[in-house]
Amino acid sequence: MIPTREVYWNISDAWLIYVLLVPALAVFATGIYRHVRLWRIGGPERRFDHSLRRLKGLILYGFAHRRIFSNPYAGLFHLLFFSGFVVLFIGTVVVWMHAELGLRVMQGRFYLYFQSLALDVFGLLALIGLLMAFCRRFFFRPERLDNTWRDAVTVPLLVVILVTGFGLEGLRIAATGDPWADWSPVGFLAAKLFIIVLPMEALRPLHASLWWFHLSLVFSLIAWLPYSKLLHLFTAPANIYFRSLDAKGAMIEPIDLETAESFGADSIDRLSWKGLLDLDACTACGLCQDACPAFASGKPLSPKSLILDLRDELHAQALQSSAGQVSPLIGGRIQEETLWSCTTCMACMEVCPVFIEHVPKIVDMRRYLVMEEGRFPETMQQAMRSLEAHGHPYPGATASRLDWCQGLDVKILAEVGSAEYLYWVGCSTALNSRNRKTARALVQLLQKAGVDFAILGNEEHCTGDPARRMGNEYLFQTLARRNIELLVSRQVKKIVTTCPHCFNSFKNEYPQFGAAFEVIHHSQLLAQLIEEGRLKPPGGLAGKITYHDPCYLGRYNDTYDEPRAVISALPGADMVEMERHRENSFCCGAGGGMMWAEEPSEKRVGNLRARHALETGSDILGVACPFCMTMLEEGIASEKGGREMKVLDIAELLLGPDST
């Protein structure tokens, strides 16, 4: 006898299935259509290119759960019910083909191995996954999760569908004495239970009513999908597929200043269609909120709430009668203080399992406030005015860009004509008394190693990074074009920077304006010089060192190993990592123009980060960014208590005690 089972056993009037399915599908389709129509009010964005790369990402981050597994517990349970329902869905399609298309697939080995055993096992795994999720959400809920009635319904509904499914299998096995029952272990156990507790004649009627109940639940679920949080079944893969393929440091789109008629996003339709898809892809998992330094320091920004508030705004659009009317966003669902809390550190985007792009949205809304309204915090305005008038963001700075290198015999490019490297010092290094020591250390190292370099001196100006992050695209582009013109006229090919923000501008943002410089961060150059044997790390340093990854070097540009290689090369250095390091690093608090925000010390991100460093019990905190230096020195000074911890740039560490 060929192993199989009778489809629609004990079910009469199977045609009723379609009577129920058609309305369910209609409700489903209406829901999906409404979302698609809403996304289309967004602006254009090119995300249909590179389909192969996009597909690969979809497999890696969608099916393989790469990012969800950053939290192993959540990764595990999600994979359990994800794979469970995928297998059950295939199983249902097989039944349908067998019964309705007349394809005799549900028989023989395939019936035993897949249709019976695999479906039972995966159904059980899905059930386990759901129970794990249920326990986490309702018994040991992490702070990042908020529970709504939707959450209270979703998991139990899925559990009931699975349990009734197993119940049906058990009733059928019990009533028919299925000879292949061993292949359905869960159903077999259920059958044994039913035989004990139920009289034989109750099995068939119970099966029939339970069958219709199960079917109604499944069809209700299908109808409800687009209106529930399970919409992410469709939006999450779509969002992963349409994710930005730009370098992470190049995700802020330039504005065409010649043609733009207005600037920035002040209403929901000013986001792109992909920006709107982002909103519907959010599952409110809260990983971004956990990663966010602004949230951790008590500021009025949670990346999760930001996305959910924008989503509410989007869905409110659906209720408005005419498409032409859009309500103002800022001051409505989004508060200005929220937008001026972001350090653009990208931690939210790094962890988001569905690749939502929070930071570009914040910059877009800032653009509106700055470029159209001129409305932003006073201290940031002072920095911006200084950028406009003096080409650096430090109002009141009186030093010249040559003061730092007195007595060091540093060549000026305009005077020497050419050099292998242009050392781009950066405002925060040249004009800040503490960071000048970093520049002095680096220059001495380069001289020791015999590197041919020169600086621009007073010709150097800000790259425009803070202007762009604060939303002043016009000022950014003015500075960028001026710098590119100058560098091209000085025939610069290779640039070394001490500032990861300058580094990112040259590497990822200036190419948007046709520039192509080879740029290297000083940590990379130093690691390279050590490896080539051109620099010998000094002795004399013993103790524990921890290292703080700057966002614009690490997350923005994936440079984690070189600064660590420099530290590891120091004899006697005992490197300890902070809990949050590399991709997970926690911002110093200075990015995105926040360097120029006025903040009470208990709300300073830098103080939190200083605590992380102090917790390692290290003697030295190594940094590789002038902003981090400023923030973390201040943070350590206010948090250290009785302990001592030096903050040193890796160039200073490498130069050793003769650092001047």
Partner 1 sequence: MKIVVCCKAVPGAVTDVEVAPGGKALQFQSQFQAMNECDEYALEEACALKRAYGGEITALAMGPITTQDILYLALAKGADQALRIDVRVQDPQVASTVLAAALGKMEFDLVLTGTQSRDTLASFVGVAAAARLGLPFAFAVTEVEKDGEQSIKVRKELGGGRFADIRLGLPALLCVQTGIQPLNFVPPGRMLRARAQPIRSLSLTELGLTEEEIVPRGYRYQSVSPPERVGRVRFLEGATPEIAAALLARIRAAL
Tokens of 594: 């926040």
228 touches partner 1 by CB under 8 A: no
DSSP states of 634-648? HHHHHH-TT---EEE
Regarding 461 and contact with partner 1 (CB under 8 A), the answer is yes
∠ CA 276-281-283, nearest 5°, is 135
Stretch of 60-68, 404-412, 456-464, 579-587 contacting partner 1, by CB under 8 A: 456-464
Residues 534-593 that bind partner 1 (CB under 8 A): none
Residues shown for the chain: 660
State yes or no: residue 651 binds partner 1 (CB under 8 A). no
Work out whether 253 is an interface residue with partner 1 (CB under 8 A).
no
Q: Does 388 bind partner 1 (CB under 8 A)?
A: yes
Considering only residues 398 to 417 of the shown chain, the ones binding partner 1 according to CB under 8 A are 400
Q: Read off the amino acid at residue 311.
A: R
Is 459 an interacting residue with respect to partner 1 (CB under 8 A)? yes
Q: Give one DSSP letter per residue of 148-211, joined into a string.
A: -HHHHHHHHHHHHHHHHHHHHHHHHHHHHT-TTGGGSHHHHHHHHHHHHHS-HHHHHHHHHHHH
Q: Which of 52, 101, 319, 389 binds partner 1 (CB under 8 A)?
A: 389
Contact residue for partner 1 among 472, 505, 546, 607 (CB under 8 A):
472
Q: Considering beta carbons, is residue 387 or 499 the nearer one to partner 1?
A: 387
Residue 458 touches partner 1, criterion: CB under 8 A: yes
Name which of 384 and 454 has its Cβ closer to partner 1: 384
Q: How far is the CB of 414 from partner 1 (least distance, A)?
A: 11
Residue number with CB closer to partner 1 (431 or 605)? 431
Q: Which of 81, 166, 474, 503 binds partner 1 (CB under 8 A)?
A: 474
Q: How far is the CB of 390 from partner 1 (least distance, A)?
A: 5
Using CB under 8 A, pick the residue from 158, 276, 356, 371 that binds partner 1. Answer: 371
Beta bridge partners of residue 515, listed in sequence order: none
β-bridge mates for residue 424, sequence order: 497
**Is residue 267 near partner 1 by the rule CB under 8 A?**
no
Three-state secondary structure of 250-309: HCCCCCCCCCCCCCCCCCHHHCEHHHHHHHHHCCCCCHHHHHCHHHHCCCCCCHHHHHHH
The single residue among 133, 475, 588, 645 that binds partner 1, judged by CB under 8 A, is 475
Q: Judged by CB, which is closer to partner 1: 183, or 404?
A: 404
| Burial of 387 (C-beta count, 10 Å sphere; 0-12/13-18/19+) | buried
What's at 240, amino acid-wise?
A: I
331 binds partner 1 (CB under 8 A): no
Stretch that binds partner 1, among 105-113, 469-477, 514-522, 533-541 (CB under 8 A): 469-477
**With respect to partner 1, which residue has the nearer C-beta, 235 or 429?**
429
Shortest spacing between CB 67 and partner 1, in angstroms: 37
Which of 385, 408, 542, 543 is in the footprint of partner 1 by CB under 8 A?
385
Question: Which span (24-32, 116-124, 368-376, 600-608) binds partner 1, by CB under 8 A?
Answer: 368-376
Q: Write out the binding residues for partner 1, residues 76-115 only, by CB under 8 A.
A: none
**Site membership for partner 1, residue 643 (CB under 8 A):** no
The alpha-carbon radius of gyration of the chain (Å, integer) is 30
Asked if 440 and 408 count as a contact pair (C-beta separation under 8 A), the reply is: yes
Dihedrals phi, psi of 393, to nearest 5 degrees: -90, 20
266 binds partner 1 (CB under 8 A): no
* Amino acid (one-letter) located at 156: P
Distance CA(605)–CA(585), nearest Å, equals 12
Q: Does 619 bind partner 1 (CB under 8 A)?
A: no
Q: Is 257 in the site for partner 1 (CB under 8 A)?
A: yes
The span from the CA of 494 to the CA of 45, in Å, is: 33
**62, 240 contact by CB (below 8 A):** yes
Q: Is 364 helix (H, G, I), strand (E, B) or coil?
A: helix
110, 158, 287 from 162: Cα distances, Å: 22, 6, 28
Chosen residue from 50, 53, 109, 482 binding partner 1 by CB under 8 A: 482
Strand, coil or helix: 546: strand
396 binds partner 1 (CB under 8 A): no
Which residue from 229, 390, 494, 582 is in contact with partner 1, where contact means CB under 8 A? 390
Q: Is 384 in the site for partner 1 (CB under 8 A)?
A: yes
Burial of 301 (0-12, 13-18, 19+ CB in 10 A): buried
Task: Tell me: does residue 511 bind partner 1 (CB under 8 A).
Answer: no
- Total residues in contact with partner 1, by rule CB under 8 A: 28
| Shortest spacing between CB 382 and partner 1, in angstroms | 9
- DSSP category for residue 401: T
- Footprint of partner 1 (CB under 8 A): 257, 260, 262-263, 370-374, 376, 381, 384-385, 388-391, 400, 458-459, 461, 472-475, 482, 486, 644
